[in-house]
């Protein structure tokens, strides 16, 4: 099968870091996290992973990979909980990249929708086949036209992993209030970071993305308070690293767990669920 080339310094290249992180985590911490899609996906790419390979045994890079893995595990947990009561729901991956969380959670009845920029969806279509209950939408999330394509008649759960850090707070609020009005009975699951975490952890990432103005960017210090935007939205929140799983798994050492506690408590890393009533 022909490989798909990923050019340097493109939007597509930004998809490689989280993809490789999931691959590495799946290999190193397989009892905690296993991504059955990522190995095949990386094998289909014509991309030089050598720079990432050099970092893979460093403690901080391992922790970064664990962060990505725990976030995905947390979101998967929430999706599966929602599907218990809404088995035919739509699972909507906001800013999907090359993530296949929808397929991971597929119960044979739900519908899967993946949304991202046109150039991201273009590379996704070359690499990942859609099944009969899945569709891709090429659209900027801030262009609400994509909402018209989401069927919420059997329930809907929207989820966003590592996406809202790049939005202004007012943009996130406007989007969430719109979704809450359009989809009563639906919910949204997403990760957030506190103000300190935004400054310390996200500064370099944002700079690499060409974002120098961090004023007004979305952060959450106290989810119950900061996300209290409507009486018709119920807010729940758990620590991102240790809120769902204790991370007591082979190859996850005591220092990983210590840093995880600092990340949850000091940097305010959270996974938030907002139910629309």
Q: Which of 260, 230, 262 is nearest to 247 (CA)?
A: 260
pLDDT digits (tens, 9 = 90+) for 84-143: 999 999 999 999 999 999 999 999 999 999 999 999 999 999 999 898 999 999 999 999
Cβ atoms of 262 and 218 closer than 8 Å: no
**What's the pLDDT score for residue 203?**
60
pLDDT digits (tens, 9 = 90+) for 212-223: 556 678 999 999
Question: Per-residue pLDDT averaged across 21-25, rounded?
Answer: 89
Of the spans 24-38, 150-164, 186-200, which averages the highest pLDDT? Answer: 150-164
pLDDT band, very low/low/confident/very high, at 207 (cuts 50, 70, 90): low
**Residue 110 DSSP label:** -
**What's the pLDDT score for residue 1?**
65
The answer to whether residue 11 scores a pLDDT higher than 90 is no
Q: Say which residues have a Cβ less than 8 Å from residue 60's Cβ, sequence separation at least 6.
A: none
pLDDT band, very low/low/confident/very high, at 74 (cuts 50, 70, 90): very high
Identify the residue with better confidence: 130 or 271. Answer: 271
């Amino acid at each position: 099968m022909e490989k798909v080339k990923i050019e340097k310094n493109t939007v597509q290249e930004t998809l490689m870091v989280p993809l490789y992180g999931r691959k590495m985590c799946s290999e190193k911490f397989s009892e905690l996290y296993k991504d059955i899609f990522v190995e095949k996906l990386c094998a289909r790419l014509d991309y030089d992973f050598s720079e990432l390979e050099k970092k893979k045994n460093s403690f901080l890079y391992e922790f970064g990979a664990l962060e990505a893995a725990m976030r995905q595990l947390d979101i998967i947990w929430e999706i599966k909980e929602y599907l218990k009561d809404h088995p035919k729901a739509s699972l909507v991956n906001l800013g999907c990249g090359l993530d296949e969380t929808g397929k991971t959670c597929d119960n044979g009845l739900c519908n899967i929708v993946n949304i991202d920029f046109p150039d991201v969806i273009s590379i996704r279509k070359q690499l990942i086949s859609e099944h009969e209950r899945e569709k891709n939408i090429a659209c900027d999330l801030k262009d609400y036209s994509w909402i018209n394509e989401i069927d919420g008649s059997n329930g809907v759960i929207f989820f966003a992993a590592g996406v809202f850090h790049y939005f202004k707070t007012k943009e996130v609020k406007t989007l969430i209030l719109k979704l809450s009005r359009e989809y009563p009975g639906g919910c949204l699951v997403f990760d957030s970071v506190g103000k300190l975490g935004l400054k310390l952890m996200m500064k370099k990432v944002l700079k690499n993305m060409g974002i120098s103005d961090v004023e007004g960017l979305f952060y959450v210090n106290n989810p119950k308070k900061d996300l209290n935007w409507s009486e018709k939205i119920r807010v729940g929140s758990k620590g991102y690293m240790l809120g769902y799983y204790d991370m007591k798994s082979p190859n996850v050492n005591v220092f990983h767990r210590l840093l995880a506690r600092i990340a949850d408590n000091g940097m305010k890393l959270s996974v938030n669920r907002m139910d629309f009533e």
